[in-house]
Amino acid sequence: MHTDLWNHALALYARPGVEAACLDLQALGGDVCLLLCATWLQARGIAVLDERAQALREVAGPWQRDVVAPLRSLRQQWRTAAQGDAQLALLREQVKGLELQAEKALLARLQVQALQWPADSREPTGDWLARLAPDQARHHDALVKLRVAAAAPQDAEDGA
């Protein structure tokens, strides 16, 4: 298991089917960074508590709304026009890079919040994905795919 959230997220996102599942969950209103954080917390054995889930939402919500979403919206607005305009395509790629940096910064913020909580405690862990997924995604196949991928051994990523 990766000890930091960013590397955990990168490794998980690279697994077959995870990118598509995350995009489906995003379309259903899910915060992909929050869901990737959920898989990391689950792997670390952090107990799910209401106040912890709320604290993560309070970190993620404003950053998604004020930083990530505007960059994503601009990138998506330029999709069609950039296909026929090389300069706009270059700018669109730069915006895409900023969007990724913003997501990385959000994951770092979520990690700082979560590192306050003890790992592998004797408390029952609970289900972080169920707690942090939007209601409309709780029974969606994409959430099942993300859960299965996150539960699979990570020996290949860890070099074991």
For residues 35 and 146, the answer to whether their CB atoms sit within 8 Å is: yes
Binned at pLDDT 50, 70 and 90, residue 2 comes out as low
On the question of pLDDT at 119 being above 90, the answer is no
User: Could you tell me if residue 29 is left (phi over 0), alpha (psi between -120 and 50 degrees) or otherwise beta?
Assistant: left
pLDDT at 154: 59
Average pLDDT (13-19) is 96
- H-run or E-run covering 147: helix 141-151
pLDDT digits (tens, 9 = 90+) for 20-44: 999 999 999 999 999 999 999 999 9
On the question of pLDDT at 99 being above 50, the answer is yes
Angle formed at CA 41 by CA 38 and CA 47, multiple of 5 degrees: 110
Q: Report the candidate in 149, 160, 151 with the shortest Cα–Cα distance to residue 45.
A: 151
How many Cα neighbours within 13 Å face the side chain of 6? 10
For residues 34 and 132, the answer to whether their CB atoms sit within 8 Å is: yes
On the question of pLDDT at 68 being above 50, the answer is yes
Q: Report the candidate in 84, 109, 96 with the shortest Cα–Cα distance to residue 33.
A: 109
On the question of pLDDT at 123 being above 80, the answer is no
